[in-house]
Structure 1
Amino acid sequence: MPSTALDPTGHRAAWNSVMTGYLPGLADLEQVITTAAERRTGPPARILDLGGGPGLFAERLATRWPAARITVADLDPVLLALARAALPTTVTTVETDLTDPSWPATTGTGYHLVTAVMTVHYLNPAAIRSLYAEIRRILAPGGLLVVADVMPDDGLPALMTALEAPPGQAWSHWWSQLASAPEFAPLMDRRTEIFRSRPPAEFTPALSWHAAAARAAGFPEAGALWRHGRHAALAAC
């Protein structure tokens, strides 16, 4: 069903609420990312958001940098349909399987900023290492990679990590709302087929693991950009 038949407003607003619960400090993270990108190269001309879902972060980036050409890459047809129905023409969406090493063929190269927010925990260690190597190849000179996900620090107090239990009920409710909407039925069926044999890896190593993997992929610099409890952001350039 064409994305023009979808009304994305309420679903995208609800997704934003769910993601804010999953990733405490989301607004601060986004501010840190944009500030880091501007300090490095000025307003980025080309941006790639991997696992960008319904495109809320991309939309905010487009508002901050109207001249930027932004690409949202995701494998989920439901989330991509919501993105296509709402995003401005400066944002392109592509269906991309990050476990396939040829994925850059769908996105192109020459990006000044590549982001992956709550995306890499779906991948196993080998796939993450391959992903970082491919990102290194598609970055423009001076470009920046930011990966934000669950990256626990063994030194965190147990209470802090306990307070960040993922709101699974809100997540389930959001998907059940879509499943009950007839206009989403074909997309939900396709999503079921895609993910039937793709259980999430739920691989969540420490930030130091990600930094080492990024350096092994050819990034001269890799380290912490942001932290909020169990969640952290890696910057590599």
Structure 2
Amino acid sequence: MGPYIFDALAWQESWDRQQEAFLPDREHRFAALLDVVAAVTTPDATPKILDLAGGTGSISLRALARFAGAELTVVDLDPSLLAIAAASLGERATIVTADLRDPAWTGRLPHRAYDAVLTATALHWLAPERLTALYAEIPGILRPGGVFVNADHMPDENLPDLTRRLVARADRHRESRYATGALPSWRDWWSRAAQDPALAPLVEERNRIYSEPHSGEWLPAVTWHLAALREAGFAESGVVWRGGPDAAVAGVTAAPVPAQ
């Protein structure tokens, strides 16, 4: 047997497959996020993008495929996922270890005027009061006319029964895929990562970091997010994508007033 080689792209693909079990329309939401970036930048721009709670850098990799010269920052706390991001992205992105529960996280960033802050399926782990505060912190790291987009489970409160049915249907389909071995479950993926020679010590560190009980998933209706963005000081806020019970909300900072 030859020497072990850590294959970051293989782990990246494995992570994508595992995530797709939860989010069959995952690529659609990523595309919607990048459409927003394109809308607030010029065609020849090299946008500064913050991949917030970015994990393995899934958004960043897709951003680079669309905006070749993008300046990317990936922020997360998980050492194992960030190791995959760093190996996959190399010098094309700045990797930042920061805890979004701590308001000091913005002090670790390499830029203070991002064109876009993007996040997907991550901020639901924050407690309500912390997510509210985080929303208020983000305008301070965006340029005038910059945009923040958060895609997550954000049900339409006018469709409570239909939302319940959509979620139940998705759960049944996911369990069937697990049962056939078509896709790895979250638990299976982490079990495999814990056996990888390169990732094992990082998974142990991750387990220590997250050893304290967290607040659990908090999944308010989309109207809560829109109100929180307005209260955070964004000049505009609204829904830019919806897929069943999930949505992406955007907040845009006030653009400079043109000279008369």
Q: Deviations over 1:94-130 (max 9, x none)?
A: 1110000010011131100101101111101111111
> Match of 1:102, SS?
helix
Mapped contact 1:37–1:44 kept (Cα < 8 A): no
* Residue 144 to residue 17, structure 1, CA distance change in 2 (3 Å): same
Structure 1 alignment gaps of length 5 or more = none
Aligned counterpart, 1:94: 96
Please say if residues 109 and 139 of structure 1, whose CA atoms lie closer than 8 Å, have aligned partners that are also in contact.
yes
Cα deviation, 1:177-198, whole Å, max 9, x if unaligned, reads 1112232222112111100014
CA contact (8 A) 1:6 1:85 kept: no
Tell me, in whole angstroms, the C-alpha distance in 1 between the residues paired with 2:49 and 2:213. Answer: 27
Q: Which runs of 4+ in 1 moved over 6 A?
A: none
Question: What residue in structure 1 maps to residue 137 of structure 2?
Answer: 134
1:25 aligns with 2:25: yes
| Match in the other structure for 2:150 | 147
TM-score by length of structure 2 reads 0.84
User: Which has the greater radius of gyration?
Assistant: 2
1:149-188 residue pairs with structure 2 within 5 A? 149-154=152-157, 155=159, 157=162, 158-165=164-171, 167=174, 170-188=185-203
Compute the RMSD of aligned alpha carbons. 1.9
Taking a change above 3 Å as real, the CA distance of residues 198 and 104 of structure 1, as seen in their structure-2 partners, is farther
Question: 1:57 and 1:51 mapped to 2: Cα distance?
Answer: 10
TM superposition shift of 1:200:
5.0
Q: Distance in 2 between matches of 1:62 and 1:124?
A: 31
Alignment of 1:3-152 (within 5 A): 6-42=6-42, 43=45, 45-107=47-109, 108-152=111-155
Q: For the structure 1 residues 177 and 68, does the alpha-carbon distance in structure 2 shift closer, same or farther, using more than 3 Å as the test?
A: same
- 1:159: how far off? 2.4
Amino acid at match of 1:205: P
1:210 aligned onto 2:213: no
How far is 1:56 from its partner? 2.0
8 Å contact from structure 2 (residues 52, 76) kept in 1: yes
- How many residues are paired up? 234
Q: Distance in 1 between matches of 2:146 and 2:23?
A: 25
* Runs (5+) with no aligned partner, structure 2: 179-184, 253-260
> What secondary structure does 1:219 align onto?
coil
| SS class of match (2:61) | helix
Q: Deviations for 1:192-228, whole angstroms, at most 9, x for unmatched residues?
A: 1100014253000011101111111101211111111
3-state DSSP of counterpart to 1:165: helix
What SS does the corresponding residue of 1:214 show, helix, strand or coil? Answer: helix
Query: Sequence identity of aligned pairs in percent?
Result: 37
Post-superposition offset of 1:62:
1.1
Distance 1:44 1:119, change over 3 A: farther
**d(CA) in 2 for partners of 1:69, 1:41:** 13
Asked whether the 8 Å contact 1:6–1:82 carries over to 2, the reply is no
